Structure 1
Amino acid sequence: MRKFWPNSNYQFLSINQDRQLIITDDFLRSYLRRPELALIPESCAQEQKIHQLLTDNPRATIDSAEIKKMQDPDIQVNYEIWLRFRDKLVQAPTLENFYLGLFQGDGVDVPPLFVDQLTQILCQHLLGENPSAIEARAAELLFRMQKITILEDGHIMSADQITVEKYAETGGFGSIGELLKQNSAPLRSIDLDVLIKDNADDYWERDEAHDFVLQLNYDQDGAAALSRLLEKWIFHFHGTKVTITPQGQISDSKWSWHIGLDVNATEILNALYNGETVDNSKLAQVLCLFKLEFVDKGRMLPEIAGKPIYLAMAHDIDKCLKFKPQNLLINLPLAETS
Structure 2
Amino acid sequence: MSDFWVSSGHHLLDRNEEGYLVLTDEFLKAYLARPELIPPPEACDAERRLYRRLSKTPRDRVGDDDILAIRDSDAQENWRALIGFRDHLLAHPTLESAYLSLMRKGTGNTPPLFIQQLVHVIMRNVLDDVDDPFALRAGELFYRPQRLTQHEGRVLLADEELVDGAESGMHASPLIAMLGEAAARNLDVLVEDNAAGYFARSDAFDMVLDFRHGGPGRTAFAGVMERWLRHMLGLGSQITPLERIEDDNWTWFIGLDAEATRIGNALWEGEGPAVPGIDRVVALFRLDLEAMAQARAPIYLIMAMTPQRIVRMKPQNLLVGLPDDVMAPAAGAS
Q: TM-score, normalised by structure 1?
A: 0.87
Aligned residue type for 2:255: G
Specify the SS of the correspondent of 1:144: coil
Give the Cα separation in 2 of the matches to 1:142 and 1:280: 26
Q: Which residue identity is paired with 1:159?
A: A
**8 Å Cα contact 2:253-2:300 kept in structure 1:** yes
Structure 2, unaligned stretches of length 5 or more? Answer: 173-181, 329-334
1:96 shift after superposition? 1.3
Which moves more between the two structures, 219-228 or 2-11? 2-11
The verdict on how the C-alpha distance between 1:337 and 1:227 changes in structure 2, with shifts beyond 3 A counting, is: closer
Partner in structure 1 of residue 101 of structure 2: 101
- Tell me which residue corresponds to 1:145: 145
- Note the alpha carbon deviations across 1:112-143, whole angstroms, 9 max, x for none: 10110011111100111442221111111110
Q: Distance in 2 between matches of 1:124 and 1:60?
A: 28
Q: How does 1:166-177 map to 2 (within 5 A)?
A: 166-167=165-166, 169-171=168-170
Query: 2:297 matched to which residue of 1?
Result: 307
- Spell out, residue by residue over 1:278-326, the C-alpha distance to the aligned partner (whole angstroms, 9 max, x if none): 437612100110011112334xxxxx95321100100011111110000
What is the aligned counterpart of 1:294 among 281, 289, 311? 289
Q: Distance in 2 between matches of 1:336 and 1:213?
A: 35
Q: Distance in 1 between matches of 2:153 and 2:34?
A: 41
Larger mean CA deviation between 269-278 and 231-240 belongs to 269-278
SS of the residue corresponding to residue 262 of structure 2 reads helix
Matching residue's letter, 2:7: N
2:204 is paired with a residue whose SS is: coil
Post-superposition offset of 1:111: 0.8
Q: CA deviation at 1:274?
A: 2.0
Aligned match of 2:194: 199
After superposition, the Cα gap between the structure-2 partners of 1:64 and 1:156, relative to the gap in structure 1 and judged at 3 Å, is same
Tell me the equivalent position of 2:254. Answer: 259
Structure 1: runs of 5 or more not aligned: 174-186, 299-303
Output aligned runs, 1:45-64, within 5 Å.
45-64=45-64
Q: 1:43 and 1:202, CA in 2 relative to 1: closer, same or farther beyond 3 A? A: farther
The aligned runs of 1:1-338 (5 Å cut-off) are: 1-106=1-106, 108-151=108-151, 153-167=152-166, 169-171=168-170, 192-279=187-274, 282-298=277-293, 305-335=295-325, 337=327
In structure 2, the CA distance between the partners of 1:193 and 1:53, relative to structure 1 (3 Å rule), is: same
8 Å CA contact 1:158–1:214 kept in 2: the answer is yes
Amino acid of the residue matched to residue 158 of structure 2? A
Q: Which amino acid aligns with 2:94?
A: T
2:127·2:136 contact (CA, 8 Å) conserved in 1? yes
| Structure with higher RCO (Cα < 8 A, 6+ apart) | 2
Query: Alignment RMSD, CA only?
Result: 2.3
The secondary structure found in structure 2 opposite 1:251 is: coil
- 1:59 corresponds to which letter in structure 2? R
Q: 1:337 to 1:330 in 2, by over 3 A?
A: closer
| CA distance in 1: counterparts of 2:72 and 2:256, whole angstroms | 39
Q: 1:200 to 1:336 in 2, by over 3 A?
A: closer
Please give the alpha-carbon distance, in whole angstroms, between the structure 1 residues aligned to 2:183 and 2:51.
43
Question: Relative to structure 1, is the Cα distance of residues 250 and 74 closer, same or farther in structure 2, using a 3 angstrom cutoff?
Answer: same
Distance across 2 between alignment mates of 1:69 and 1:138:
45
Instruction: Give the Å deviation of 1:252.
Output: 0.8
Structure 1 distance, partners of 2:255, 2:122, is 20
Question: Hey, what's the Cα distance between the residues in 2 that align with 1:190 and 1:114?
Answer: 27
1:154-189 deviation line (CA, Å, top 9, x unaligned):
32111111111123634369xxxxxxxxxxxxx799
Equivalent-residue separation in structure 1 for 2:273 and 2:124 (angstroms): 37
Aligned residue pairs, count:
319
Moved more, 26-35 or 63-72: 63-72
